[in-house]
Structure 1
């Protein structure tokens, strides 16, 4: 991998970690370049502004989730089993990976202007996520797939925030039970 690409990846990884743990506006470019081990010139070569780095961070989160959905879809033939796998994947994400809330919700809270590129990245992700859930729910033969998918998005949002506040041991079992009820499936 070329040196520049490695520096870009280090910046993205460092920003992703710090932005998620501490917030976006709380972290300056000086700290990002210091912890990533790059120069300011290198930073600005890849990201013309901090906002562009934030957008790239959210896009990398989006890509990771899309890849998880693709691998789950490739691993399972039964649509009902895929839906259960998606619910279990959300539960695992809430308890293991995104333990400080949803990175997209967190970013949206810091960027109130819906036309800002960061908020556009958030909207793009949420639109994809809901549309993908509609496809999964519809394939499983569940009535009112749009309504069920929308409810599952809201439940995921609540689980991510609730788990951060109340802990995954409290929230995850309730998420799974409620999501199954909303989808009309049993354990």
Structure 2
């Protein structure tokens, strides 16, 4: 009987992401979970499997790294809005789904709130690059919401957008200060009341 030699090829290893991607991923997670001020560049470099020299080769300063992490969060939110618009053409339904999705997030015990709001609290300096990212993003979000409220037939789109914006931001802060079982649980009910009051 002849023997059969079986050659088992080792599984190909997943390529390791380049240093810049690893640094951004590590910094994004650490900033979100522990806070921007609490995390130093050494901890980020270690978590990314690199060193401070490499980190500073890709980012001129910690401030610039924070700003780029927030731009990543902003792009993620933009992608979510685009996906929602494609999946739910009806603007009234889209508003309600958006409120419900935010409610699901803020009532998740593992949620740490909005990364951009958290950054705004930690960074009061108006000329900080990360602060500029936050303000530009939130302004754009408010404009987007006004447009969506207009499409939904609201009698006063700007007023409805502001009320929803304040309700959402307040729920996020409340969830962090009082827990996911506190008043933030009322977000969907209050959101529906506000929407109906504006005819949307």
Please indicate, yes or no, whether the TM-score normalized by the shorter chain is above 0.5: yes
Aligned equivalents of 1:184, 1:55: Cα separation in 2: 38
Where do 1:86-125 residues align within 5 Å? 86-96=98-108, 99-125=111-137
What corresponds to 2:173 in structure 1? 161
Of 61, 67, 71, which aligns to 2:83?
71
Where do 1:16-55 residues align within 5 Å? 16-55=28-67
What corresponds to 2:8 in structure 1? none
TM-aligned CA deviation for residue 166 of structure 1: 2.1
Aligned equivalents of 2:116, 2:110: Cα separation in 1: 11
Larger Rg: 2
Aligned equivalents of 1:39, 1:84: Cα separation in 2: 46
**Cα-Cα RMSD:** 2.1
Alpha-carbon displacement from aligned partner over 1:121-173 (angstroms, at most 9, x marks no partner): 11011011111111111111111111111111111111111112222233443
Where do 1:120-139 residues align within 5 Å? 120-139=132-151
Aligned equivalents of 1:143, 1:8: Cα separation in 2: 47
Of 133, 150, 158, which aligns to 2:162?
150
Aligned equivalents of 1:96, 1:128: Cα separation in 2: 26
Residue-pair matches, total:
185
Identify which range, 123-132 or 163-172, moves more after superposition: 163-172
- Equivalent residues of 2:42, 2:51 under 8 A apart: no
Which structure: greater helix fraction? 1
Aligned equivalents of 1:121, 1:18: Cα separation in 2: 19
Aligned equivalents of 2:154, 2:95: Cα separation in 1: 10
TM-aligned CA deviation for residue 113 of structure 1: 1.6
Aligned equivalents of 1:35, 1:153: Cα separation in 2: 35
TM-aligned CA deviation for residue 29 of structure 1: 0.6
- Equivalent residues of 1:25, 1:110 under 8 A apart: yes
TM-aligned CA deviation for residue 6 of structure 1: 2.7
